[in-house]
Amino acid sequence: MTPFVFSYNGILSSQYGIYATEHDFFNPPKRQSRRKIDFRHGEYDFDVGMYDSRILNLNCFWKNPKTRHDIREVTLWLSGKGKLALDIEPDKHYIATLYDSSDLTPHNVRWNGNAPSGEFRLSFYCEPFAYSDQTIIPVGSDVMEISYNGTASTPTLIILRNLTESPIRNITVTSLGIA
C-alpha cells in the first residue's frame, strides 16, 4: 500500500517524518441491546440502531531515526482529544483520542539497508462515524445540490439572511428525507 499522511489537531504527521501504510475502516460495532425474558425462548432484541465507539488502527513508520526527545514531542502532539483526518479521505474526519501507542518507542527504530525506519501502530478511540466539514453555499449560486460526505446522521441547519434592503422572493428549499 502507498504510504499516506494523517493530521491530528491540524498538524500533519509528515512534519514528524511519520507516514501510515495501512488502516482499518470497518463499520463501528453495533450496540447490543438484548434481554432474556422469563418464559420466552432466546432473547428479545431492542435494536435501536445505535453504535459504539470504534478503534481506528494506523500502521505507521518513521522516515528518520527518532530519539527519546522526538518521541516525547510526538506523544505531546497526539495527546488529548482531536480531529483525525487521513489524506486518503480528504472529505472526512474522525473525533479521536489516542488509545494505544505502546509501539512508539526508540527501540523500534532499526536500520533497513542504509535507511533508518521504525514501524509502530497507533490505535485511536473514535466516535462511531466519520464527519464532514460544514458546507456553506450562498443563495443564488449555481449549486443545486449540497452533499454531506460524512457517515454520521446529522441534522441540517439552513439559515437565510437578507443582507440587502430588498425583500427576498421565490426561494424554494426542498428536503429529501433519506432514511
What is the number of domains present in the chain?
1
More confident residue, 95 or 131: 95
pLDDT tens track for 124-145: 999 888 888 776 666 665 656 6
Q: Alpha-carbon distance 128 to 116, whole Å?
A: 36
Parent domain of 89: 6-126
Using a cut of 0.75, tell me whether the model's pTM lies above it. Answer: no
Closest CA to 134 of 178, 94, 91: 91
148 in a domain, yes or no? no
144 in a domain, yes or no? no
Q: Report the pLDDT value the prediction gives residue 78, as an integer from 0 to 100.
A: 93
Residue 156 pLDDT > 50: yes
Q: Alpha-carbon distance 177 to 5, whole Å?
A: 36
Closest CA to 7 of 72, 82, 103: 82
Q: For residue 136, which phi and psi values (nearest 5 degrees)?
A: -120, 120
145 in a domain, yes or no? no
Q: SS3 for 107?
A: helix
pLDDT tens track for 8-55: 999 999 999 899 988 876 678 887 888 888 888 888 887 777 888 888
